Amino acid sequence: MSRVRLGWWLIAIPMSLLALATIYPLLFTANVAMKTRRDYILDRFSLTDALRWENISTAWNSVGMGRYFVNSLLVVTASVLLLLLLGSMAGFALSQLRFRGSSALFLGCLAGLFIPFQVVMVPLARIMADTALIDTYPGLVLVYVAQFLPFTVFLMTSYYKGIPPEIVDAARIDGSTVYGVYRRIMLPLGTPALLSVGILNALFCWNDVLMALVMMPSAEHRTLMVGVTSLRGQYSDNIPTFASGVLIAAIPVLLVYLFLQRQIADGVAAGSTKG
Amino acid sequence: MRQRAMWSAVLVVGLALAGCGSASDSGKSTSSDGKLVVWDWKSGEPFAKSYLDKAKADFKKKHSDVEVEFVAQPFDQYYTLLGAAIQSGKGPDVMLFNGGGQIRDRVDALVPLNDYVTEDKQRLAGWEAFTKDAKIYASPVTLQGYPIYYNKAIYQKANLDPASPATTWDKFTADCTAIAKAGAKCFALGNKEGVGIQFWLSSLGSTTLTAQEYDAWITGKRDWQSPNVKRLFQLWKEAGDKKMNSDGANSTAMFNDSFALFQSGKAAHVMGLMSDVGHWQDFNEFLTPEKLGVMKAPIVTAGTTPSLPYDGGIGYAVAKWTKDPKMAADLVRSLSSADALKAFYADAGAIAADTTIDVSQAGPAVATLVSELKSGKPALHVALSSKTLDLMGRLSQQLLSGSITVDEVVKQLAASDQAG
């Protein structure tokens, strides 16, 4: 065997194993979703003997997933649009505008990255209840924006730092206002980063359970992921139905990943290099 | 053009949210508006439908103009969600609780029900698990116990008499050796979440602690340095060391993986439940009622008498912030009414808190369980605070893996227990 061919195998085998390990949970979930409860209890690892779509329809109908799907779509869309707007504005200001305290402001934004939701959950719930925002869509959108804005600002600032400041200076000399520079120059130039950070934020918001559960306790306002978790009771043992719910909730995320994987990878690396 | 589209989208979403923001507030207390909101983790399950229908019908007789909305919350996050609701002072009017530490830790947010449930006191059992300082905070729906189930088919395969399971610990371990030779494990154990030790403690408590020690434990006077208390933890470790448990117990979830091991005939015994899952009805489905046995705990300490450990399982409570506590208490009473509980027993297989319900058709295992209720005692682990239970779960994993000693375990548990 030639050295080149051996090298190829040395890379291909571990990578294939890694890919299998990554995709196996999804295949396992899909397999379980097609089983009967009895088959699952007796041998969960065996392949299903039939495609039982009734588990999917049970999961879909039992907790009203159609409504939760719309709720998720609404909340995630609004959150992501607001995040992109605020994040890109802040990123532009912190990277391109010279003003006193900008570094401290940036560090302050970064500090938000290190505060887990569990720490602020109870006081936040109290504030939301006092302001009548609990159990409302705008309330959850605000929570998502607050939670994921530091990450968005960090990425957008890093990205905009790579744009030569001379472009801004030239536009200002030509008479453009700061808002005009942002709207006409920075927003179009930041499209790749906005797309990436938008996808990542959409995934974060879509997959969230805890924030959505605490901020939207009533049944009709639930998001899809909360709906899926409610398929499991304390000791509920209908795992095939639960697996079907997980599969339903995962499909949009998988589609996003399949079609936009390049942008997701770019988003993770945004700002890591200049130029 | 593209920018204009984006701003339009922002505007549309903003307007949509403003409209949706005023949507109905079913998560909040609304009893004065002709509606009661209930949070639980049961109402979404198909087997609870007839139970809820009966309860609603009973409540309708008393308050025909009041709507009741059940919101099934995910159990994994239930108490987190409840904590947030309690802190913000806004939440459901009525809520479901597990008996013991889970409700006792939150009584400040609940209405004492003593004056409302007087008529139900005799009919229902399991009140102690929902009582703190002589105040009742929930009406029991089910009784939850921790019997030892065994598989008679495995006993036959191991040449043991299925009609006479071991009555002493020494005989029991000898039986386990025979069972191992027959190709099965002695115990189906799942301790991934640290819950296994709780069932162990309660299942073997009455035959390891003396009657005085047992009663003192329940009343809160626990002597963690007592040799018999230490013995419970030593047995836990010994069972692991002697490979009596199913493989990988610390990485196996109790719900429902360890029960699946028992159901599929891979283990001869399981410390299971009387209600919910992991109980007689589930096991009957797989093993058949004839092959399912319920045994008394084998005697570890000479002179002890085995008794069934059980308490109130789940029960509904009334939130302090509800606008009409009497109406909410009426709903709680309907949720514990005889008809509703009968339906819950029939569909969910729960041993209901109403012990007058006829269970004669359910098979020999249920008959044994119900006959032992009279001489039963509260479970040991239910008397502990949830904080101490969490610690015990973590320590039990270390005991099984051999990274801590029994002395260190009881020392840490004593400190946690005394801290309250």
Q: Side by side, which strands form the sheet with B185-187?
A: B185-187, B267-271, B148-151, B292-295
B30 contact partners, CB below 8 Å, separation of at least 6: B36, B37, B93, B323
Mean pLDDT of A44-63: 88
Q: Which residue has the higher pLDDT, B56 or B41?
A: B56
Model confidence band, residue B197 (pLDDT cutoffs 50, 70, 90): very high
In this prediction, residue B379 carries a pLDDT of 94
For the stretch A66-92, pLDDT in tens is 899 999 999 999 999 999 999 999 999
Q: To the nearest whole angstrom, how far is the Cα of B18 from the nearest Cα of chain A? A: 7
Neighbours of A264 (CB within 10 A): 15
A134 closest CB neighbour out of B6, B44, B88:
B88
Categorize the per-residue pLDDT at B221 as very low, low, confident or very high, splitting at 50, 70 and 90: very high
Nearest chain B CA: its distance from A75 CA (Å): 8
pLDDT at B199 over 70: yes
Please count the other Cβ atoms lying within 10 Å of the Cβ belonging to residue A21: 9
Contacts of B72 in chain A (CB under 8 A): 63, 219, 230, 233
Q: Which pLDDT value is given to residue B178? A: 97
Min Cα separation B366/chain A (Å): 20
Among A65, A124, A137, the residue to mutate for chain B (most B Cβ within 10 A): A137
pLDDT at A9 over 60: yes
Q: Express each pLDDT in B83-97 by its tens digit.
A: 888 888 888 999 999
Of the candidates B117, B378, B23, the residue with the CA atom closest to the CA atom of residue A74: B23
Work out the average pLDDT over B42-48: 83
Partners of A78 on chain B (C-beta within 8 Å) are 13-14, 16-17
With bands split at pLDDT 50, 70 and 90, how would you rate the model's confidence at B11? very low
Query: CA separation (Å) from B316 to A14, A233, B146, B170, B419?
Result: 54, 16, 21, 42, 28
The answer to whether residue B24 scores a pLDDT higher than 70 is no
What are the tens digits of pLDDT across the range A85-128? 999 999 999 998 888 888 899 999 888 888 888 888 888 888 98
Comparing A84-93, A137-146, B35-44, which segment has the lowest mean pLDDT? B35-44
Q: How confident is the model at residue B175 (pLDDT cuts 50, 70, 90)?
A: very high
Q: Nearest by CB to B3, which of A136, A187, A237?
A: A187
| Closest residue in A to B256 (Cα–Cα) | A237
What confidence tens digit (pLDDT) does each residue in B87-145 have?
Answer: 888 889 999 999 888 899 899 999 999 999 999 999 999 999 999 999 999 999 999 99
> Cα(B97)–Cα(B138) distance, rounded to whole angstroms?
8
In this prediction, residue B30 has a pLDDT band, given cuts at 50, 70 and 90, of very low
Average pLDDT of chain B to the nearest whole number = 90
Three-class DSSP labels, B269-281: EEECCCCCCCCHH
Instruction: Determine the distance in angstroms separating the CA of A204 from the nearest CA of chain B, rounded to an integer.
Output: 19
Cβ–Cβ below 8 Å for B26 and A213:
no
Contact B276 A234 (CB under 8 A): yes
Using a CB-CB cut-off of 8 Å, the residues of chain A touching B20 are: 74, 136-138
B75 with A233: Cβ contact below 8 A: yes
Check pLDDT > 50 for residue B73.
Answer: yes
Using the predicted structure, report yes or no on whether residue A248 has a pLDDT greater than 60.
Answer: yes
pLDDT at A236: 61
Q: Average pLDDT, stretch B362-367?
A: 87
Q: Quote the percentage of chain A above a pLDDT of 70.
A: 94
Look at B87 and A122 and tell me if their CB atoms are within 8 Å: yes
For B242-268, the pLDDT digits (tens) are 999 999 999 999 988 999 999 999 999
Residues of A in contact with B195 (CB under 8 A): none
Whole-number average pLDDT of chain A: 88
Closest-CA distance, B302 to chain A, in angstroms, reads: 36
User: Token pair of B4, please?
Assistant: 């204009």
Residue-level pLDDT at A235:
55
Q: Is the pLDDT of residue B15 over 60?
A: no
Look at residue A256 in the predicted model and tell me its pLDDT.
82
Question: Do residue A237 and residue B26 have CB atoms under 8 angstroms apart?
Answer: no
Model pLDDT, residue A156: 94
Residues whose CB falls within 8 Å of the CB of residue B94, separated by 6 or more in sequence, listed in order: B36, B37, B38, B39, B316, B317, B318, B319, B322, B328, B331, B332, B335
Q: Tell me, what DSSP letter sits at residue B93?
A: S
- CB contact under 8 Å between B74 and A41, yes or no, is no
User: Would you say residue B7 has pLDDT above 60?
Assistant: no
Looking at beta carbons, which residues of chain B come within 8 Å of A62?
44, 46
Average pLDDT over residues A182-205: 91
Q: Residue A143: what pLDDT? A: 95
Contact A43 B73 (CB under 8 A): no
Count of CA atoms in the C-beta half-sphere (13 A) of B388: 25
Q: What percent of chain B has pLDDT over 90?
A: 74
pLDDT greater than 90 at residue A264? no
Please give the helix or strand (H or E) that residue A252 lies within, else none.
helix A239-269
pLDDT at B386: 83
B102 alpha carbon, distance to own chain's centre:
10
CA–chain centroid gap for B202, Å, is 12
What pLDDT, on the 0 to 100 scale, is given for residue A269?
A: 62
The DSSP code sequence of A135-190 is TSHHHHHHHHHHHHHHHHHHHHHHHHHTS-HHHHHHHHHTT--HHHHIIIIIHHHT
d(CA A273, CA B18): 40
| Rounded (10°) angle between helices B325-335 and B49-62 | 140
What one-character DSSP code corresponds to residue A53?
T
Which carries the bigger pLDDT value, residue A219 or residue B289?
A: B289
Number of residue pairs across A and B with CB atoms under 8 Å?
152
pTM for the full model?
A: 0.78
Q: What pLDDT band is residue B303 in, cutting at 50, 70 and 90?
A: very high
Q: Provide the percentage of residues in chain A whose pLDDT is more than 90.
A: 44
The Cβ-side half-sphere exposure at B185, using a 13 Å CA radius, reads 24
Could you report the per-residue pLDDT of B377-392, keeping only the tens digit for each? 999 998 898 899 999 9
Confidence of residue B196 (pLDDT cuts 50, 70, 90): very high
Query: How confident is the model at residue A267, as a pLDDT?
Result: 63
Which of A218, A220, A224, A238 to substitute to test the interface with B, most B CBs within 10 Å? A218
Flag whether the ipTM exceeds 0.85.
Answer: no
CB-count burial class (<10 Å; 0-12, 13-18, 19+) for B233: buried
Question: How far does A206 lie from chain B, in Å, by closest CA?
Answer: 17
CA–CA min distance B212, chain A (Å) = 33
